[in-house]
Chains A and B, each alone.
Chain A
Amino acid sequence: MHLDHSLSSSHSHHGPSAISADAHRPDGSRRALRIGLGGPVGSGKTATVAALCHALRDELSLAVVTNDIYTREDAEFLLREAVLPPERIAAVETGACPHTAIRDDISANLEAVEDLEDEVGPLDLILVESGGDNLTATFSKGLVDAQIFVIDVAGGDDIPRKGGPGVTTADLLVVNKTDLAPYVGSDLGRMAADAKAQRAELPVVFQSLRGDKGVAAVADWVRGQLAAWRAR
């Protein structure tokens, strides 16, 4: 038998690549903070990612992973908007099951974040956008360090009351498109009270990307997460 082959004779200074949430890369350096953005289709995840890139790209080294359901549209939107150079945007194909790729079988996403760090790193922050499907989709802790759940006022003002893992447990809940509330008859006060009831002390941001403040509050939250990650 050819037992004395390449597997027994290979040597390397570094270990092979990391497996999942390890805080360090194979060369010993600290990896980038990974933040996931989940939530229903159309709530404003890609728009929030684009706005965060605009807000943070001058102070941080950034990259984005998108998980489209059946196209590369999110990645292409970010490319068109030129929020980051193309080599900093990677698209993962999810096989009709976007929640599987961020929760049950995270290997393709882990490869995307690791390849980005290898190819354009060092990076401070990687944003991972979910393809978006339902209210139960959350990111695995093996993939991201913190997650943002994005809903919008137009999806119905009873979503915070209904709860579900995204609304209840995300590290940050963003209620987007507040500019549309008057047109769709959503009661922001009620949404805030329901969110508080579901989430206790976990933070909630009401945001309109069409308004003056835009993504500023979420960008501040991200800066806080990064400071905490660096202090860890």
Chain B
Amino acid sequence: MTRAALLVLADGRFPAGGHAHSGGAEAAVKAGRITDAASLEEFCRGRLHTAGLVSAALAAAAALGLDPVELDEAAEARTPSPALRTAARRLGRQMMRAARATWPHPELDALARLFPKGAHQPVVLGVAARAAGLGPADAAYCSAYESVSGAATATVRLLSLDPFDATGVLARLAPELDRVALAAADAARRAVDEGVDALPARSAPLLEIGAEAHAAWAVRLFAS
């Protein structure tokens, strides 16, 4: 295993489609819930402890080798919004393509065959981490970080927010990100014995509702 593989996988420029998604930030900006760096931080904090924790635990469980079909069902059950389900599968498919090209592995090929139109992104991310020789905590870190970094980058574009302020938000969230990633990895290890129900199931209703509204807009900059 190489630690540096984590940097490759977590890089915002990893070509897996994330650039076209705002993690709910576009809807929150329009609704007036994100207006500056302080409100971006609150938004990201909420996301981290809900959708971020759930996706990090799914990714860690997939990295541990739990059945991705069961994990995909668990992800579906934890994602009420049809728009977010669609986005998660689309991003999963894009992650799959990038991961197969980057770390060729029979488990990735098998997952691509099972889900030709895409499994939930955190599940694919976890199997990709496995293919890259990374462990469950690495996968959890990657997923938890992604859950906030995408929204921060999108807000820079949406509000012309000072990019240094947006990066400062991510840096201030780092200690919480540590805790979320480690909690997610713990839950994943419990799920090995207890099954996928041991994975966290927190939700953020405003993210779900915002995603549904956003999907119906005629004019938008981001796909979700």
Interface residues of A (CB under 8 A from B): 1-3, 5-8, 10, 12, 15-17, 19-20, 69-72, 93-97, 100-101, 104-108, 110-111
Whole-angstrom distance between the alpha carbons of A32 and B91 in the complex? 24
B95-115 interface mask toward A, CB cutoff 8 Å, 1 = contact, 0 = none?
Answer: 001101100001101111110
Within 8 A of A (CB), among B62-117: 64-70, 90, 93-94, 97-98, 100-101, 106-107, 109-114, 116
Give chain A residues whose Cβ lies under 8 Å from the Cβ of B109.
15-16
Main secondary structure of the interface of A (DSSP, over half): loop
B20 within 8 A of A: yes
Residues of B within 8 A of A107 (CB): 15-17, 93-94, 97-98
Contact in complex: B13, A104 (CB < 8 Å): yes
Given that A17-B116, A105-B19 are known contacts, is A5 also in contact with B218, CB under 8 Å in the complex? Answer: no
Hey, which chain A residues are within 8 Å of B222, CB to CB? 93, 95-96
Say yes or no: is B21 at the interface (Cβ < 8 Å to chain A): yes
Q: A8 — which chain B residues lie within 8 A by C-beta? A: 107, 110
Cα distance, A1 to B113, chains bound together (Å): 22
CA–CA, A100 to B106, complex, Å?
29
Q: Within the assembled complex, what's the spacing in Å between the Cα atoms of A108 and B92? A: 11
Q: What separation, in Å, do the CA atoms of A96 and B67 have in the docked complex?
A: 36
3 smallest beta-carbon distances between A and B, as pairs: A95-B20, A16-B112, A5-B67
Scoring B residues 143 to 184 as 1 if CB is less than 8 Å from chain A, else 0, what string do you get?
000000000001001100000000000000000000000000
Chain A residues with CB under 8 A of B19 = 95, 97, 100-101, 104-105
- Chain A residues with CB below 8 A from B201, complex form: none
A72 and B90 alpha carbons, distance in the complex (Å): 18
Pick from A12, A20, A72, A108: contact of B20, CB under 8 Å: A108
| Contact between chains at B114 and A6 (CB < 8 Å) | yes
Closest B residue to A71 by CB, please name it: B219
> Contacting B65 at CB < 8 Å: which of A2, A96, A101?
A2
Given the interface pairs A71-B219, A111-B93, the reply to whether A95 lies near B116 with Cβ below 8 Å is no
Q: Tell me, rounded to whole Å, the shortest Cβ–Cβ distance linking A130 to chain B.
A: 14
Are B68 and A7 touching (Cβ within 8 A)?
yes
B110 contacts A10, CB within 8 Å? yes
Interface range on chain B (Cβ under 8 Å from partner)? 35 or more
B55 at the interface (CB under 8 A from A): no
Please tell me if the beta carbons of B219 and A70 are within 8 angstroms of each other in the complex: yes
1/0 per residue B2-41: CB within 8 Å of A? 0000000000010111111110000000000000000000
Q: How close is A106's CB to chain B, nearest CB, in angstroms? A: 7
What are 30 A-B pairs with beta-carbon distances under 8 A?
A1-B64, A2-B70, A3-B65, A6-B69, A6-B110, A7-B67, A7-B68, A7-B106, A10-B114, A16-B109, A17-B97, A20-B97, A20-B101, A93-B222, A95-B22, A95-B154, A97-B157, A101-B19, A104-B13, A104-B19, A105-B13, A105-B15, A105-B18, A107-B17, A108-B17, A108-B20, A108-B90, A108-B94, A111-B93, A111-B94
Name B residues whose Cβ lies closer than 8 Å to a Cβ of A. Answer: 13, 15-22, 64-70, 90, 93-94, 97-98, 100-101, 106-107, 109-114, 116, 127, 154, 157-158, 192, 218-223
> How many angstroms between the C-alpha atoms of A107 and B22 in the bound complex?
17
B91: min CB distance to chain A, Å: 9
Complex Cα gap A2–B191 (Å): 10
Residues of chain A within 8 A of B113, CB atoms compared: 10, 12, 16
Docked Cα-Cα span, A111 to B100, in Å, equals 14
Known: A7-B68, A16-B109. 12 other contacts (CB 8 A): A1-B66, A5-B68, A5-B70, A7-B111, A8-B107, A15-B109, A17-B112, A19-B97, A20-B97, A96-B157, A96-B158, A108-B90
* Complex CA–CA separation, A6 to B72 (angstroms): 12
Contact partner of A7 (CB less than 8 A), chosen from B18, B22, B110, B158, is B110
Q: Known interface pairs A93-B223, A96-B222. Does A106 touch B15 (Cβ–Cβ under 8 Å)?
A: yes
B97 neighbours in A (Cβ, 8 Å): 17, 19-20, 107, 110-111
A93/B15 in contact, CB under 8 A: no
Bound Cα distance A107, B70 (Å): 26
